Amino acid sequence: MPEFSRIFLANSLVRLEKSERTHERKLKMLPIPDRVQAVLDAYFQLLDSKLLNFLEAYYIYGSISLGAFTKNYSDIDFVAIVKQEITADKLALLKEIHLEIQQRFPKRILDGKYITSADMQQVNHGEQSYCYFNEGKYRGVRQFNKNSIDAYQLKVHGIAVKGQESNKLDYTIDWDILLHDMKGNLNYYWVNWRNKCERFLTVSYIGLFCSGKMAQDH
């Protein structure tokens, strides 16, 4: 495993194992950046005009909730829990909403999941389907896994824009599975991403280097 991967993994393992031992939720209730809030305001205005009372809960997670949001590089990661089944008509309206938001805010990418309340309540018993949107487009149906890094970030660091706090979501993470998958993520996804960035000096690569150095210093 490359040195930077070992640094990230060791740092992550310490934090995750500490959380497991203490069973404490260290939610970082950081303020949402103004440029992100502007996108959300426009998004909710459109949603209310086309799909009133559609949402049960809405959470922001990822770089925003971790205090690592970077202008022009970070996505706006979200999970929306909806009250009813997403029919073809409702999906068509969601497509319209995301396309309009992408056109109005081309540098602010909404990257998120729509899952029904009923399915979210069953996540603890197995993977559940959700509708995935990215860059203003519908990307199909995918599976929400309670042991994924997204599920972990959502529950531990998620910011509740609407609905109950994310730490009250009814699923329990299997740490052995999460850590196993994290190792795979570090070995494949991030190594490939680093190799691609090394071909030329980029802001992304500089950010990766700085993050690794910060983890090493700690």
- Lowest mean pLDDT across 9-13, 23-27, 87-91, 161-165: 23-27
Is-contact 134 43, C-beta < 8 A? no
Residue 44: name the closest of 108, 112, 98 by CA.
Answer: 98
Q: Residue 156: what pLDDT?
A: 92
Q: Residue 101: what pLDDT?
A: 98
CATH of the domain at 146: 3.30.460.10
pLDDT in tens, 42-54: 999 999 999 999 9
Domains in the chain, number: 1
- Domain range for 82 is 23-173
pLDDT in tens, 56-89: 999 999 999 988 898 888 999 999 999 999 999 9
- Residue 71 burial by CB count (10 A; 0-12/13-18/19+): exposed, middle or buried? exposed
